[in-house]
Amino acid sequence: MYDVVEDPYCYPGTTVLKNIPGIRDQTALDEFEAAITAQRADEPLPAVRLGAAHYKAIHHHLFQNVYAWASKFRTVRISKDGSAFCYPENIEREMKSLLKSLRDKRYLWNLSRDRFADEAARLLSTLNAVRPFRGGNGRTQTKFLALLANRARHPLDLDNVRPAPFLEAMVASFKGDDGSLERHIFALTGT
Q: Is the pLDDT of residue 51 over 90?
A: no
- As beta bridge partners, residue 3 has 79
Mean pLDDT of 36-42: 94
Pairwise CA distance, residues 185 & 121, whole Å: 7
In angstroms, the first-to-last Cα distance of the chain is: 34
Mean pLDDT of 164-186: 93
Residues with Cβ within 8 Å of 153's Cβ and at least 6 positions away in sequence, in order, are: 109, 110
Closest to 152 (Cα-Cα) out of 110, 101, 104 = 110
Q: How big is the chain by its Cα radius of gyration, in Å?
A: 16
**What is the number of residues in the chain?**
191
Q: Is the pLDDT of residue 173 over 80?
A: yes
| pLDDT tens-digit map of 99-132 | 999 999 999 999 999 999 999 999 999 999 999 9
Q: Is the pLDDT of residue 1 over 70?
A: no
Mean pLDDT is lowest, of 40-44, 117-121, 187-191, for 187-191
Pairwise CA distance, residues 41 & 141, whole Å: 12
The pLDDT value recorded for residue 46 is 76
Pairwise CA distance, residues 158 & 140, whole Å: 14
Q: Is the pLDDT of residue 3 over 60?
A: no
DSSP secondary structure letter of residue 44? P
* Residue 191 pLDDT class (50, 70, 90 cuts): low
The pLDDT value recorded for residue 5 is 59
The pLDDT value recorded for residue 75 is 97
Element (H, E) at 170: helix 163-174
Q: In the chain, what are the domains?
A: 26-188 (1.10.3290.10)
Q: In whole numbers, what is the pLDDT of the chain averaged over residues?
A: 93
* C-alpha dihedral, 134 to 137 to 143 to 149, nearest 10°: 130
pTM of the model: 0.91
The pLDDT value recorded for residue 190 is 75
Pairwise CA distance, residues 22 & 16, whole Å: 10
2 or 28: which leads in pLDDT? 28
The pLDDT value recorded for residue 181 is 96
